A and B are shown apart, each in its own frame.
Chain A
Amino acid sequence: MNPAGDWRYVYASVRGVAHASAAIECQDACAARLVSVLSMPESGPLLLLAAADGAGSAARAREGAERACQLLLDELATRLVSTPPNDWNPTLAGTLLENIRTALAQDASTAEASFRDYACTLLGAAVAADHGFFLQIGDGAIIIGNDAGYQPVFWPQTGQYANETRFVTDPDAGDYLQCRVLAEPIAEIALLTDGLQPLALHYQLRQAHVPFFRPLFQQLRAISPAGCSESSIAALESFLDSPAVNQRTHDDKTLMLATRLDLPAGLEASAQANASEPPSRPIPPVSEADPAVSEADPAVPETPLSERLPRDANGAEVL
């Protein structure tokens, strides 16, 4: 059996044109891992995904983003493999975040650096046979669905203004950690950082921009065999660095895509036919109870947030 199970996935972080012209390294990072669950070999491996966007002003932004992704995968592998998916719950995310913060603080102390030097956003997902676990702090998005439609799990956390968000290293990060557990099979999932938000999200409707995702997943489904190959990573990197993308965004950008929808061999053209079939199970809309998405006013309320948001990783005022 393929160790990847049915998963086809690809991921890449690419430097934005603004950083390229200023000779600054890419401050995004992402990482993926497949973990087999020994107690339930028949249900296939657990797919773990992590993406992070290091704060531009943080001295070790890239390092912070990479470390946060690895720490998150380690934590997900430890906590979620030892917990049956039926018992996954959002409180696990709080423990996870605390452990990541502790490890980053230790890194900082070893390197005689400041904790804030590692400031980054963090997105994570764990997908089992019929459960999904998602967490997010800061902007960027996790999108789930299938050819019939795609939805964001959370809406990106921005502050009052377009250049404000939240980071793992914020003193009150725990207050803004979002977590959801879905007890249903997740067929396709994407993680992206804020550099791709203008292309991937519809801000007014607060939804995923389906024409962005549909063709990408159709391509991914056609790859054989399952798993993740160097050539598909190279193809994604070249897409993320293409003029079409760079015209719309100048920031670093990360995209992770994973699908376990099988495209019948030699029938790539049937992807269109699949689209007309109803999904086996409807994707639930983003929960109304979720405070991050049920906000009537699309902007985060001004006053309470503004007091907490000296939105620069060094605490300097952001204009």
Chain B
Amino acid sequence: MNTPDLSKQTPFGLDFSVAEFADNPEPRCPCVLLLDNSWSMNGQPIAELNDGLATFREELLADSLAAKRVEIAIVSFGPVQVVSPFQTAEHFLPPQLSAQKDTPMGLAILQGLELLNQRKALYREHGIPFFRPWVFLITDGTPTDDWKAAANEVRKGEESRAFAFFAVGVEGANLDILQQISMRQPLQLRGLRFRELFQWLSNSMRSVSRSVPGTEVPLINPTNPDGWASV
């Protein structure tokens, strides 16, 4: 006979976080940020990235609908760490990332996609409609781990439209490998325009989060002359 597992019977084992869906039944627009905090990001790059995250929050909060609909999760890599689980923009607190070690990009992608799968399962369980998730990778380096399995998952996810995957290279990034990971053309960040990047990302999330069936989602081309990226 199995010994009952008491830990599973105590109320403390319950997950009360699902109350968030009763409190906020709005459809969700999930966005996973995969952020490189390897040592090479040390100094101004990581500082600008942190400022960019603060801008991201501010701009989403300025839109009352986006604040309730856009959900952000952050996985940093260097090493891989879930810095922030999924939270609606109104509850999101931007982290202060610090530059640390290597660039385990492959594992970070797999971790991010797993977070996303869990979140989608939770949405379905609670009858929360959702928009196509975005996964947004930012790196300045070359993966220091096996990235092929991650590239395969990204390809499968894009083909089944499970998410849209975007890759952005900061100066020094290996764009050849990013090109093999991302089905969409990787973008090169101009200088350290993280602030402009996150303004663009919040505008895009605002557009997606209020889109209705049969409407095109207007996205601004980030490679415009005054945009934050080049191809």
Q: Are B214 and A167 in contact (CB under 8 A)?
A: yes
Are A203 and B129 in contact, CB atoms less than 8 angstroms apart? yes
Write out, one digit per residue, whether chain B residues 139-163 have a CB within 8 A of any chain A CB (1) or not (0): 0000000000000000000001110
Q: Which of B128-144 contact A (CB under 8 A)?
A: 128-132, 134
Contacts A203-B25, A302-B160 hold; do A312 and B215 have CB atoms under 8 A apart? yes
The answer to whether A162 and B215 have CB atoms under 8 Å apart is no
**Is residue B175 within 8 Å, beta carbon to beta carbon, of the partner chain?**
no
Task: Please state if A319 and B217 are interface contacts (CB–CB under 8 Å).
Answer: yes
B127 touches A55 (CB 8 A): no
- Find chain A residues with CB under 8 A from B176 CB: none
Does B213 make an interface contact (CB < 8 A)? Answer: yes
Given A203-B25, A303-B160, A318 contacting B127 (CB threshold 8 A): no
Instruction: Tell me if A205 and B127 are in contact (CB < 8 A).
Output: yes
**A160–B128 CA distance with the chains assembled, in angstroms:** 12
- B212 is contacted by which of A56, A202, A302 (Cβ under 8 Å)? A56
Q: Which of chain B's residues have a CB closer than 8 A to the CB of A57? A: 214-216
Q: Which residues of A contact B192 (CB under 8 A)?
A: none
- Contact residues in A for B162 (Cβ distance below 8 Å): 302
**0/1 interface trace, chain A 184-200, chain B, CB 8 Å (1 if under):** 00000000001000100
Given A250-B65, A299-B124, do A160 and B132 touch, yes or no (CB 8 Å)? yes
Task: Tell me whether A194 and B213 are in contact (CB under 8 A).
Answer: yes
Do residues A162 and B214 form an inter-chain contact, with CB atoms below 8 A?
Answer: no
Kindly state whether residue B211 has any CB partner on chain A within 8 Å.
yes
Q: How many angstroms from the CA of A27 to the CA of B192 in the assembled complex?
A: 43
Q: List 5 A-B contacts (CB under 8 A).
A: A56-B215, A121-B213, A138-B213, A306-B161, A312-B216
A sample of 14 more A-B contacts (CB under 8 A), given A61-B214, A161-B132, is A56-B214, A56-B216, A58-B214, A158-B213, A161-B131, A163-B132, A163-B208, A194-B213, A202-B127, A203-B126, A250-B65, A297-B124, A302-B161, A319-B131
